Structure 1
Amino acid sequence: MIVAASSNNQAVTNIIDAFGKDFAQGEGAFAGRWLPDIKSFGMFLPSHSRRMEAAQRYQTESFQAECESVAYVERARAVWLHAAGKAFPGSESTDVAGFVAKLRDRMTEEANTLRNLDAALNRRNACAAALVSELGEEAEVEHTRRADALRVSQDRANRQAAARAALDHYLASESWFTGFFSFLPSVKRQRALKARLAIGDRLDGLRDLANVEDIEARVSEEVRRGKKSLTEAKDLLARAENLSQQAKASETTWHQAAEAFGGSDALGDLELRADLGTRFNLFLLATHYWEGRWLMAMEADLATISASHEKTGRKAVEPRWKRRMMLTPCAVATFASLPGKLSCSRFQGGKFASDSLYNFIDLLIVDEAGQVLPEVAGASFALAKRALVIGDTQQIEPISSLPGPVDIGNLKDSGLMDGEVVPEKITISGVQSTNGSAMRLAQQACQVSPWPELDRGLYLFEHRRCHDEIIGFSNALCYKGKLRPMRGPAPADAPIPALGYLHVEGRAFTSGGSRANPVEARTVAAWLADNRTLLEGRYGRPLEQVVGVVTPFGQQVRAIRDACAARGITVSGRDGMTIGTVHALQGAERPVVIFSPVYSKHADGGFIDASPSMLNVTVSRAKDSCLVFGDMDVLATARSGSPRALLSEFLSAKGTALDFAMEPREDLTRRDAQIEMLQHAAEHDAFLIEALKGEGRKYMIVSPWVVAGTIERTGLFDAMATARQRGAEIEVFADPLLNTGQAAGGLGQMEAVERRLSEVGIAVHRIPKLHSKIVTVDKDLLCAGSFNWLSADRKGQYARHETSFVYRGGHLEDEIKIIRDGLAKRAK
């Protein structure tokens, strides 16, 4: 009994959809299903309110009930037996039981090939490890050394034995007279001399021994040591030869076992062949085996089973579940509906009472466990013997409706917390509703911890959804660089960057406890409408299925929906584009994801940085492109080390900026005023020169790129110099990270501009990661857009269509002050 569950319908339907579409049919007689009408390996257990809708798309309990009819069983038996006969041609079997036995025999054969491979691999690894443990990494060198050591020990032992024999021969030939008078010094010296002469050069170290007894003792000791050394040398060499032989034999056995899988020596190739070959064959065989077992179970008591669909007693419910698992080996449900599905009734005290099938599920698989509240999952865990909990605590946390004090009170009342327990330890345990999850609970219970720097449990480090540029951000933000991107970088000719941005000069407004940025919303809608043809042509499906839009705030969700609807983009219903807070794409994915951060210079905030999970989920939902539409200067000034600051770092890479016209700021436009728009370089140059000729006293020119030659050629330098002569104050703001090229005279690009403008008393302020392109005059003139005032190419291949909007009036004073104050804080 295997059940997969999660807390939301998105995660659950992802699972049930995979059971229907992600299994290959195979080829030959064993391909596909042998029973008619069965299209999936999963059974969906929807809530009561969704059962009719779910039955139209999935195999549900009602589908299983239809299969448990006399008519279906008779038809299914005929179809199954026909398929089995084709799979086992010439077989004497004519009934279901006979073919089931043959399927089991075939499964045993296939499984044995895997067991043989596993056993051979384990034996090879064990032998190799034993060889390294005994002989070291250079086994051949150590083997030779031991063989040489044995020869040396043998030669030494031979000499020692010869010395013993020579000494014994001398002593045996010595006269009794010499022995009798050996107490005399002269005789003693003579005996020792003759003994040493008899031994000769067979043994060293005898010169200082003055009597035969000492020489004999020394010879005996050397012979004993020699024998011991020889025995040890023989044992060492024997162990080396034995282990080497075992290693060679295990290698031969391994290659023989691997021959059944193509003969490759690479484990990755063998695993792939096993997955696509033997294991897949086993899967098909098991499918048909359990189909046959289901037919046998139905045939055993078909009339009773057909008549028991409405019975709820344990004796009817438990066999029903076991039968249904034979057809669909995994049931799928939300945690809200699962406990009710695994219930039964019992007759007690003259009436029926409800009961639950505790410990009935053999394996409970929890998906998206990081988004499951502990109390939501608790009841279903009581129904299972074991659980495989899959999730990511770096994704969006589950939302609890409990206030913190009530949560603590509940824990105390239920005995899960006493007055002495440190709250921080309870938080770590994951049991709290307000900050816990099923995943945190599982991590605390798990005893496996291969990576000390990470939380407990096993990890799937390979990432295949996103291009490397996209998942690289999440890897740095949340996963300590452990993820292994497997998809590769985005193609060089991709029309949209994998990780990109469009700088939007908007304004965030607060409303009803939420925030909105109308300019960002309109810019997102305009860009989508402008790129509809490109995106639909690239992906071959409607724009609404290609792009998802994420923003932190509900008010912005409504603003983007309205702006998109006004551009003819469907935003509601099943066919509508997903536009929502980050929860809208939790567990889902889109080729392109747009993020609207909302915050602006006027109203920054820390909500996005409160948890890394928001940006992690947002960015990692994008398969091909994740695009940020917002005020990039706000990202650039985010607190160092924060998620937004890291995102700003990744977006500062070359080629990440999008080229698109900015939407006008309606909040800066008077009702009766016509919005003035500048297009192309000539109009921008004319506007700035005319402004410099006017009576303005204080000018700000914000141009991330600056080029001294451009300032000269366009006449801007002369205009600025003239303005300075009449006493006007001019400040220029530029990005030193962008202006790193070389100018004439050996100066750097930035230094050349600074030196030239300083000649007329104009200060150039360096602001890294500067994105705004603005001109202000005094307190009543503001021009903002996409034009680099002091660098943009006026013609040639790099000249672009640039757009800026001009706003005039005394109402701009606050806006200009906000811009000036923000620049002053960042200026170097």
Structure 2
Amino acid sequence: MTSQHGVTDAAVIEYFARVLQRGQLDEVTFGDDRFVAVPRADLRLGCLPQEKTDKLFSRKKTKAPIPVVVSLLSLQIGGGKHSGLVLLAASLRPDGTLDPVVETGSSPWIPAERLNSPQVTGREVMLGDQEAFWSAFHGPLSAEVSQVETFGGAVDLADALTKEVTGLAPQEFATRRSTSRTVLEADTCYVMEFERISAARSLLELYDHMQRTGERGLASRLILGAPDKHHERDIHVGDGLLTRALAACGSMSDGFPLTPSQRRAVHGFLTDGDGDVTAVSGPPGTGKTTMLQAVVASTLTRRALDEEPPPLIVGTSTNNQAVTNIIDAFASVTKEEPGPLDHRWLPQAQDGAAGDAPMTSLAVYCPSKAKWNEAARKYLVEDDSRAGVYADHSDEAYLEAARDRFVTKAFEYFGSASDVAGLRTLLHEALCEVDETRRRLLATMATEGPGTRYADLCQRVLTNPLLSGLEHLTELPMCRDLESLDAELDRTLRYVAFWLAVHYYEAYWLEAEFLPENERWKNTRRTMDTYWSQAPALTPCFVMTAYQVPKYFELYAKTGEPRPFDIGRIDLLIVDEAGQVDTPVGLPPFALAKRALVVGDTKQLAPVWSLDDVTDQEVAGSTGVSAEDWDRLLKPRGLTCSQPSSLMAAASNASRWVYGDPVAPQPGLFLAEHFRCHPQIIGLCNELLYDGLLNPRRKEEQSPLHGVAEPFQFREVPGSSDTREGTSRKNVAEAEAITRWIVDNFDALHEVYIDRQEDPNKRPKPEEIIGVVTPFSAQARAVRTALRQAIQSLPAGSHIPSGLAEALTVGTAHRLQGAERPVILFSAVYGQSEGTASFIDGNPELLNVAVSRAKDLLVVFGAERRWNNGPAFSLISQYATRTTLDIGEEPEPPAEPQPLVPTPAPTPTYTVGQPADLPIREKVSEPVTTSTGGSPRMTFATLRAANPAPGPGSTSPPAPGGEAEDRGEALPVSGLLKQWASSGHLLPEDSGLTAAAFNLRLHTAGILAGEPGAWTVTAAGEMVGVTTEPRTRRDGSPYDVILYGLQAQEGLLRLYRTGRL
């Protein structure tokens, strides 16, 4: 099929398959006594000693050659293990002969994790730039690859590659870069059995199936995209809200209803159907898990209402942290104190029988064999031979006890007894009754409002025994419109319906005729039909990495025949953290699914790409994709294998939905309400990357540190100086300053977060209070070293654990992706002599991750020169308070107190639409201890353009302005509110006033027109100095920002003071 953009799905599939076939610049660890060491001089001869060859063949029954990998430059990593830095693939014969495998850009290779790129920060040893790696194959080494004839020639090629990338020969590099802590080896090489494409083998087999049979399933939609686009604000237009509210039939939580944007996302998903890709952009702290749970709850409940087999839902991503985040979202859906309905009625299997504890999870983890034992200690687990949860819970001894337990639990809820078959019928009848009641409530409210008929329905609801005990049921009669009713149904009738559906499928499981033990492992069509119609009744969600997914849907093939796959078997594919998923790795599972829900954020961490764009374009060209089509059609839609592609970008562009500015919308759906961070902290991220679309919903007073510490601080580090450590950087002065801060403040934080917390389940571990984030791994090691030394000399009585330096999360943003901490300390590293913080300025996504990990307090440590200098820190200066105070310390009053804002001169009475002659504010000096940034408000893109990064080795003078800048500049509404707050103008009840809420007031006052996300300035607003300024996003699309000039600022303040705003 040919897309509307002119590139066929077949061509893209072939292109992606070829990229995976090249290998992914794998990182290889030599350990577990599975390798042999060989002197470099002997290795060059291309023949291993027989005893070493025999060791590598010791586990083989065949005498056929085996694939091996050779490390020609290695790093000792402890425990007798070595990390390969320069690697060469080869084939080893039983007589010891090594036959090299030489392919351009594939072998020899340097692991992607050891090559600098925007996504990879400096580890302890980095060899050079990814660009240099690929340039070497395009230039000096291009001819040599085809001329290699011996193993020694292959070693020479690898050495030449090393010199092109590092500037040094391997032995010289090892000598220069080795230290007492970092030991590199080039004279000793290591050989280990290693089949390079084993990780991607199942993906490649699925690619082969798609190419060979033309069966591509949902993968075609991901490539070709939706034919029409619709704005997310249209989801509820007309009867849209009623239609979607009727379709939403289940909820996993009775605590809080969905937020407006979560509801739009769920309703967008319900509008889509089989054959669609629904993409939801979920910035940090916006409730992605809640949204996913709502989708799964409605999917499960709808299938039960229709008396269909349970839905098969597969959750996936490409890294284990993202995968375990999915499993954790569904691993415990039961409240701490559930009633008779809202918990699993089936027991957990234990030692071949039914245990005492009930099941808690709706998901099963399908790990790799290497992670099986570890995973089994925490989760329900399954493998591709069905020997895990399916076998444990279908054993007859288990089933006999489980049926008795189920009947007892059902009696506690219904008050009547029956066998399992009768209970399944009863559960379905109850489910239909609850669902019909929900539908009647919605229809009555939509057509008649909260009148007599609605009140009668509510009275029947309150006396329905199926709904007894629901905490929020009495809220239903209080609803006055469809929106409020839809929200209350989330935590009442939809919640009951979901649990009735869970128990309906538990009865379905207890009635099933299971596969016998000698049949389970088979993958015939009949076996797969039976298994997949039964297994989801117990756990509807199966969670695994993208590399594992094809293995579970392989079908039987005769020896020598290509392996077929069960195309379209998955009812719903969920991909989480899709912004980190490399598109060619994430695409194949789509062929196995009927529809997909893809969640992620392209403005956080990106994939680690193995190709530069030049090489990527060449591979695409080899499959018939022209350079023009690659650059113009595929790259903007995330359908390439190099920067800036990702599965999230591809899915968003394949979705029918768009959000944001209607003139220049962004693809996909968007979660806007942010609950994690203090509003002042997330405000930076909102302006940095999200165009102000985030809606901070957390109140300032909810922070345990409210009134105790400024939520966003900048602490100047005297004597700040950074040094290079390979391609990484460290700053000892900053490491020591961070250590002092931890030592000085830890006891206070311990009291706030642990000692005062009465609920032991909510007390964090001591090491979970603080996280330290830095752009460079060398700095992380410096911080850990300084903290370790400081803890050793602590006096008795401190709350700081002796092992805190090891237990604390200290590292780059990647270490805390998907996590959060009450307090985050950020080390900028760049010292006073550095003109710019180029890596931080050039990677706003990493700064976004670092900042958005902090719930209550973010402290940025940096040189004095960092303040208000360069794109990132100019923006930081708008949100951070410059301070030297510790937690709980009060600032000393200045000798001659000065008002933060001079008293304005008398001015004529002001009304909206009537310009006033307003005075110009004077420059205001700030106290040294606590100075809030107030330099001119600029977007990140504008600042980057105004402060271009210098070339290597260059420096630039400090930016003008700083602490005495002119406060009379035009401000966006967030800056206006910040200025009013710092000047004491905001009323106490408005301490948590957000820009989004204030925009609504401006709309009421006639200053703004339109709606959230699409505000415009009215004629009255223009007359009083409110303007719009065109800006450009990072992707090149235009948008407008509304600015309030001096005249408008004074006029609005007057309106606010007089209670008219």
Q: TM-score, normalised by structure 2?
A: 0.48
Aligned mate of 1:609, from 841, 844, 853:
841
Residues of 2 paired with 1:621 and 1:375: CA distance?
29
CA contact (8 A) 2:332 2:362 kept: no
Aligned pairs for 1:568-587 (under 5 A) are: 568=791, 576-587=807-818
For residue 352 of structure 1, report the CA deviation from its aligned partner.
7.5
**Alignment-derived partner of residue 373 in structure 1:** 582
Deviations 1:642-683 (A, max 9, x none): 23211121114xxx524269xxxxxxxxxxxxxxxxxxxxxx
Residues of 1 paired with 2:529 and 2:740: CA distance?
58
Q: Do structure 1's residue 543 and structure 2's residue 752 form an aligned pair?
A: no
Aligned mate of 1:738, from 925, 936, 939:
925
- Report SS of the residue matched to 1:567: helix
CA contact (8 A) 2:773 2:813 kept: yes
Aligned mate of 2:365, from 44, 66, 70:
44
CA contact (8 A) 1:736 1:766 kept: no
For residue 425 of structure 1, report the CA deviation from its aligned partner.
3.9
For residue 466 of structure 1, report the CA deviation from its aligned partner.
0.9
Q: Which amino acid aligns with 2:399?
A: V
Residues of 2 paired with 1:67 and 1:355: CA distance?
29
For residue 263 of structure 1, report the CA deviation from its aligned partner.
4.2
For residue 111 of structure 1, report the CA deviation from its aligned partner.
0.6
Q: 1:481 to 1:294 in 2, by over 3 A?
A: same
Residues of 2 paired with 1:401 and 1:610: CA distance?
20
**Alignment-derived partner of residue 406 in structure 2:** 80
CA contact (8 A) 1:68 1:305 kept: no
Q: Do structure 1's residue 109 and structure 2's residue 398 form an aligned pair?
A: no
Deviations 1:410-451 (A, max 9, x none): 223345x32432614432111122110111101111111243
- Report SS of the residue matched to 1:421: helix
Q: 1:352 to 1:292 in 2, by over 3 A?
A: farther
CA contact (8 A) 1:549 1:579 kept: yes
Aligned pairs for 1:635-650 (under 5 A) are: 635-638=867-870, 642-650=871-879
CA contact (8 A) 2:832 2:864 kept: no
Q: Do structure 1's residue 293 and structure 2's residue 508 form an aligned pair?
A: yes
For residue 98 of structure 1, report the CA deviation from its aligned partner.
0.9
Q: Which amino acid aligns with 1:650?
A: Y
- Report SS of the residue matched to 2:815: helix
Q: Do structure 1's residue 498 and structure 2's residue 706 form an aligned pair?
A: no
- Report SS of the residue matched to 1:262: helix
For residue 27 of structure 1, report the CA deviation from its aligned partner.
4.4
Aligned mate of 2:668, from 457, 460, 470:
457
For residue 707 of structure 1, report the CA deviation from its aligned partner.
7.0
Q: 1:97 to 1:708 in 2, by over 3 A?
A: closer
Aligned mate of 1:524, from 734, 738, 757:
738
For residue 35 of structure 1, report the CA deviation from its aligned partner.
0.7
Q: 1:367 to 1:769 in 2, by over 3 A?
A: same
Gaps of 5+ in 1: 125-247, 662-704, 711-734, 742-764, 772-828
CA contact (8 A) 1:258 1:264 kept: no
Residues of 2 paired with 1:76 and 1:503: CA distance?
63
Deviations 1:97-136 (A, max 9, x none): 1110000000000111122133234435xxxxxxxxxxxx
Q: Do structure 1's residue 29 and structure 2's residue 356 form an aligned pair?
A: no
**Alignment-derived partner of residue 598 in structure 1:** 829
For residue 454 of structure 1, report the CA deviation from its aligned partner.
4.1
Residues of 1 paired with 2:706 and 2:405: CA distance?
52
Residues of 1 paired with 2:361 and 2:601: CA distance?
27
For residue 269 of structure 1, report the CA deviation from its aligned partner.
4.3
Q: 1:545 to 1:26 in 2, by over 3 A?
A: closer
Q: 1:512 to 1:27 in 2, by over 3 A?
A: closer
Residues of 2 paired with 1:623 and 1:377: CA distance?
31
Residues of 2 paired with 1:424 and 1:571: CA distance?
56
- Report SS of the residue matched to 1:579: strand
Q: 1:375 to 1:473 in 2, by over 3 A?
A: same
For residue 457 of structure 1, report the CA deviation from its aligned partner.
1.7
Q: Which amino acid aligns with 1:550?
A: V
Q: Which amino acid aligns with 1:339?
A: P
Residues of 2 paired with 1:339 and 1:537: CA distance?
50
For residue 512 of structure 1, report the CA deviation from its aligned partner.
0.8
Matched residues, percent identical?
Answer: 34
**Alignment-derived partner of residue 514 in structure 1:** 728
Q: TM-score, normalised by structure 1?
A: 0.61
CA contact (8 A) 2:334 2:360 kept: no
**Alignment-derived partner of residue 647 in structure 2:** 438
Root mean square deviation, CA, Å: 3.1
- Report SS of the residue matched to 1:548: strand
Q: Which amino acid aligns with 1:382?
A: A
Deviations 1:667-721 (A, max 9, x none): xxxxxxxxxxxxxxxxxxxxxxxxxxxxxxxxxxxxxx997999xxxxxxxxxxx
Residues of 1 paired with 2:806 and 2:572: CA distance?
36
**Alignment-derived partner of residue 423 in structure 1:** 631
**Alignment-derived partner of residue 270 in structure 1:** 485
Instruction: Considering fraction of residues, name the structure with more helix.
Output: 1
Q: Do structure 1's residue 618 and structure 2's residue 850 form an aligned pair?
A: yes
Deviations 1:795-816 (A, max 9, x none): xxxxxxxxxxxxxxxxxxxxxx
Residues of 2 paired with 1:612 and 1:43: CA distance?
36
Total equivalences in the alignment: 543
Residues of 2 paired with 1:736 and 1:633: CA distance?
21
**Alignment-derived partner of residue 6 in structure 1:** 317
- Report SS of the residue matched to 2:692: coil
Q: 1:571 to 1:444 in 2, by over 3 A?
A: farther
Q: Do structure 1's residue 389 and structure 2's residue 598 form an aligned pair?
A: yes
Aligned pairs for 1:328-347 (under 5 A) are: 328-346=539-557
- Report SS of the residue matched to 2:587: helix
Aligned pairs for 1:159-170 (under 5 A) are: none
Q: Which amino acid aligns with 1:529?
A: V
Residues of 2 paired with 1:536 and 1:255: CA distance?
51
Deviations 1:382-425 (A, max 9, x none): 2111111111111122211212222112223345x324326144
CA contact (8 A) 1:510 1:516 kept: yes
CA contact (8 A) 1:539 1:546 kept: yes
For residue 510 of structure 1, report the CA deviation from its aligned partner.
1.8
Q: 1:496 to 1:65 in 2, by over 3 A?
A: farther
For residue 363 of structure 1, report the CA deviation from its aligned partner.
0.7
**Alignment-derived partner of residue 158 in structure 2:** none
Q: Do structure 1's residue 280 and structure 2's residue 509 form an aligned pair?
A: no
Q: Which amino acid aligns with 2:639?
A: V
Aligned pairs for 1:779-794 (under 5 A) are: none
**Alignment-derived partner of residue 394 in structure 2:** 68
Aligned mate of 1:629, from 861, 871, 882:
861
For residue 572 of structure 1, report the CA deviation from its aligned partner.
8.7
Q: Do structure 1's residue 560 and structure 2's residue 747 form an aligned pair?
A: no
CA contact (8 A) 2:775 2:813 kept: yes
Residues of 2 paired with 1:71 and 1:593: CA distance?
51
For residue 325 of structure 1, report the CA deviation from its aligned partner.
0.9
Q: 1:22 to 1:469 in 2, by over 3 A?
A: farther
**Alignment-derived partner of residue 278 in structure 2:** none
Deviations 1:123-172 (A, max 9, x none): 35xxxxxxxxxxxxxxxxxxxxxxxxxxxxxxxxxxxxxxxxxxxxxxxx
Q: Do structure 1's residue 53 and structure 2's residue 53 form an aligned pair?
A: no
For residue 316 of structure 1, report the CA deviation from its aligned partner.
1.5
Aligned mate of 2:420, from 96, 103, 112:
96
Residues of 1 paired with 2:560 and 2:780: CA distance?
53
Q: 1:339 to 1:76 in 2, by over 3 A?
A: same
Gaps of 5+ in 2: 1-311, 349-358, 383-387, 462-475, 755-763, 792-799, 888-892, 899-921, 929-957, 965-1061
Q: Which amino acid aligns with 2:536?
A: M
Q: Which amino acid aligns with 1:631?
A: A
CA contact (8 A) 1:571 1:577 kept: no
For residue 70 of structure 1, report the CA deviation from its aligned partner.
1.4
